[in-house]
Structure 1
Amino acid sequence: MLSVIKLEHTQEWDSLVKRFREYDVYYLSGYVKAFCHNGDGDAKLIYYEKDNIRAINVVMVRDIYQDKHFTSKISKDTYYDITTPYGYGGFLIQGNTTDEDLKQLEQEYCDYCREQGIVCEFARFHPIHRNGEKLKSMYEIKKLGNTVTINLLSEQQIWADLSSKNRNMIRKAKKAGVEIFWGRSPQLIEEFIPLYNRTMDKNHASEYYYFDQDFYHSMLYDLKYHADIFYASYENKIIAMSILLFANQQMNYHLSASDTNYRHLAPTNLLLYEAACWGHTNGYKTFHLGGGVGCKEDSLYQFKKSFHKDGETDYLVGKKIFDEKRYQELIKLRKIELLEKGMAVEEIKDQFEQSDYFPIYRV
């Protein structure tokens, strides 16, 4: 009833995913390959089928031994935790699902995870499909914030949903001579990488967000039919770029970069507007922009919200512990490490009690 597909079985993986009405690009093998190259873990597709229901979940399996806090404390290939690949996902369930069906799915899933030495899972649910709301019996669900989705019903609707300030910025960009193009050549990737890295520098991003050449190579070739690079050009110079993903009538804003020297021309405003219109023309129904940094309603979030005043969607995450005993043992090992480094007992206690980070032993 429950089977696990490895990433090398690409055809079987994608065939199963595409049997689900609500699948998005985040579930496809080509998407997760890039994050395997990035060192995020070993990708697996969990597939479940019984009677009237089918379910899938894409996870990155991480050997806890590889975490710098545990390399000298536990053995390799012993304990793992799993997480949703960068972006959104979580279980998609299709069919006439009863409470009993969910219990059986949960039981088989938990049994499998314990057998594999998987201690816990952190899931980032899909804001558009709201699959987290259906899984409250399986996970400890929490809302982290909001994301923004543009409705691609028509170009008239796209324009009407913009804030008045955003409409003015788009007019300004057009009047200044900013033009929007798109493609997916290696040359565009080579243009994107330094511009993106400079954007990350400006935003003081963590090391994780500086992707290597293998990552971008995978984005270009493994997502051949599911990714495009949109870019804004001014006086024959590229001043803003975005990698957009799409599958199954859904578009997603993935990675973005811009030259701060041209911010006054509002190139990203025009880029996203033109991309939304392109999406409508090509049969897409939604364009998900994501949320703010750290799920906050910051300036980035307000910028995205200016594309759809009423387009807020809940962003839910789920926590699940499969092996409580091992989970507590890992916390204990982490606390001992902090004590050995000279941190006070009360300070350690406060750090673990006040943090929402999961799994807490990785904090």
Structure 2
Amino acid sequence: MNAQWKVLWAEAATDREEWIGLWSALAERHPFAHPDVCSLLRAGGGQLAAAVMTVGDGYVLYPFFLREIDAELTAAAGGERMFDIISPYGYGGPLHWGISDIDGASAQFWRMFDLWADENSVVSEFSRLTLFTETMLPYQGTTRRRQTNYVRDLSVPADDLGQKVAPKVRSNVRRALREGVTTVIDTEGEFVDDFVRIYTETMERRDSADWYRFERPFFEGIHAALPGQFAYVYAQHEGRLVSVDLLLFGREDGYYFLGGTEAAAFGVRPNDLVKMESMKWLQAQGRRRYVLGGGVTAEDSLERYKRGFALDGQYDYFTGERILSPGRYEELLEAHRRRLAANGLDFDEASDFFPAYRRGAEALSPTEPVVRQTAEARS
């Protein structure tokens, strides 16, 4: 197979330009594969890069962060510098477009990737994977089911969108309309300050981790990276914007990204109307699926709420993990166990956190951000 393989570094101007050019030419223009969006979704440091392979007119694009492993830990495990890989927050993994021989491309891509990883002392890899297998290059490592996500099929007639939702959703939408709630679609970020106000109140009410408390510059970054590929869907009541969902979308798929509701507006059920209008708007724009996501944890109230809008739209969400250097991995794990024990801490044998040599590290470095290993940001 005649293929070209390389790694692009987002902080190198020419590489970033090439990455954006490649992304712009792809059929989907996947919002979570743009380098500037990936950079905004940095969860725990590292250098942003993308492994890219071209095969004729087809491409593979795999964004990731290359993180240096703590020097204290590597010193205890032999002394050499070591690295690991984690994908940006959101839906990602190794994505492909326009490739006919997917199995052949997969074999070639991972062979070259693993050679590069070995040359660069990469010990392990953790990847948050897309829900849609038709655009994901077959993953070569272990996949782990994390939770259920909900996806609404928008390819139905417009009159059918109000069907296959929970009776409570229909009731709440009727309640919102009776109360005079209307919707406002903002595709320019004109009302971003209202979004930040509503979102911040929501995060404070839920006592969310600092990482989720995005401020205006974060959203301005989204606007700059994805012009024409985002929309804020607001609910307005008595002249005030009181609830909102931020949507990101490619050419076919839309994604719920972030949102919130003022507590004082709960009684008029504005967010049910927001989500129904989001589906209608995305359908009118030609999108065929709407990814609502899942909960913070499996079967929590947020997951149950989203299920109400896509009763037959369950998708399993998986993460991927690979140990690329087994010997180094075991050395790091043993050194991590010893470090925890020296600080009077136990290693959590029951946890599935990967890589295991980072498991519980926040107790040693409480200032380091800890981000859950799921698909979406909190709503």
TM-score by length of 1: 0.87
Q: Residue in 1 aligned with 2:372?
A: none
Q: Residue in 1 aligned with 2:144?
A: 142
Q: Residue in 2 aligned with 1:333?
A: 335
What is the deviation of 1:39? 5.8
Q: 1:151 aligned to 2:150?
A: no
**For 1:228-265, what per-residue CA distance to the aligned partner results, in whole angstroms no more than 9, with x for missing partners?**
22211111112112211011221110011111121121
Q: Residue in 2 aligned with 1:207?
A: 210
Q: Residue in 1 aligned with 2:354?
A: 358
Q: Residue in 2 aligned with 1:198?
A: 201
Secondary structure of the residue aligned to 1:160 is coil
Q: 1:103 aligned to 2:128?
A: no
What is the deviation of 1:75? 11
Q: Residue in 1 aligned with 2:51?
A: 46
What is the deviation of 1:192? 2.0
Q: 1:291 aligns with which of 281, 294, 302?
A: 294
CA contact (8 A) 1:63 1:77 kept: no
Bigger Cα displacement from structure 2, 187-196 vs 279-288? 187-196
What is the deviation of 1:271? 0.5
Distance in 1 (CA, whole Å) between partners of 2:161 and 2:151 is 11
Q: Which ranges of 4 or more aligned residues in structure 1 deviate by more than 6 Å?
A: 71-77
What is the deviation of 1:332? 2.1
Q: 1:64 aligned to 2:69?
A: yes
Secondary structure of the residue aligned to 2:163 is helix
What is the deviation of 1:73? 6.5
Q: 1:121 aligned to 2:164?
A: no
- AA at the equivalent of 2:154: L
**For 1:158-186, what per-residue CA distance to the aligned partner results, in whole angstroms no more than 9, with x for missing partners?**
11122222111111111101111022556
Distance 1:79 1:17, change over 3 A: same
Distance in 1 (CA, whole Å) between partners of 2:80 and 2:272 is 47
Q: Residue in 1 aligned with 2:324?
A: 322
Q: 1:28 aligned to 2:37?
A: no
Distance 1:251 1:326, change over 3 A: same
Higher helix fraction: Structure 1 or Structure 2?
1
Question: CA-atom RMSD, angstroms?
Answer: 2.7
Distance in 1 (CA, whole Å) between partners of 2:80 and 2:32 is 26
**For 1:68-96, what per-residue CA distance to the aligned partner results, in whole angstroms no more than 9, with x for missing partners?**
x8599699993222222111111123423
Distance in 2 (CA, whole Å) between partners of 1:76 and 1:230 is 52
CA contact (8 A) 2:154 2:283 kept: yes
CA contact (8 A) 2:7 2:51 kept: yes
Equivalenced residues, count: 351
Distance in 1 (CA, whole Å) between partners of 2:75 and 2:232 is 43
Q: Residue in 2 aligned with 1:270?
A: 273
What pairs up with 1:189-268 in 2 under 5 angstroms? 189-268=192-271
Distance in 2 (CA, whole Å) between partners of 1:285 and 1:63 is 40
Q: Residue in 2 aligned with 1:93?
A: 96
Distance in 2 (CA, whole Å) between partners of 1:198 and 1:233 is 17
CA contact (8 A) 1:57 1:91 kept: yes
What is the deviation of 1:19? 4.5
Q: 2:18 aligns with which of 6, 12, 21?
A: 12
CA contact (8 A) 1:63 1:76 kept: no
CA contact (8 A) 1:62 1:81 kept: yes
CA contact (8 A) 2:233 2:278 kept: yes
Distance 1:130 1:265, change over 3 A: farther
- AA at the equivalent of 1:87: G
- Identity across matched positions, percent: 24
List gaps (5 residues or longer) in structure 2.
360-379
What is the deviation of 1:315? 0.7
Secondary structure of the residue aligned to 1:293 is coil
Distance in 2 (CA, whole Å) between partners of 1:52 and 1:275 is 34
CA contact (8 A) 1:31 1:219 kept: yes
Distance 1:166 1:213, change over 3 A: closer
Distance in 2 (CA, whole Å) between partners of 1:72 and 1:210 is 35
What is the deviation of 1:63? 2.5
Distance in 2 (CA, whole Å) between partners of 1:220 and 1:5 is 23
What is the deviation of 1:101? 4.3
- AA at the equivalent of 1:6: W
Distance in 1 (CA, whole Å) between partners of 2:76 and 2:184 is 52
CA contact (8 A) 1:65 1:77 kept: no
What is the deviation of 1:100? 5.0
Distance in 2 (CA, whole Å) between partners of 1:332 and 1:15 is 44
What is the deviation of 1:22? 5.0
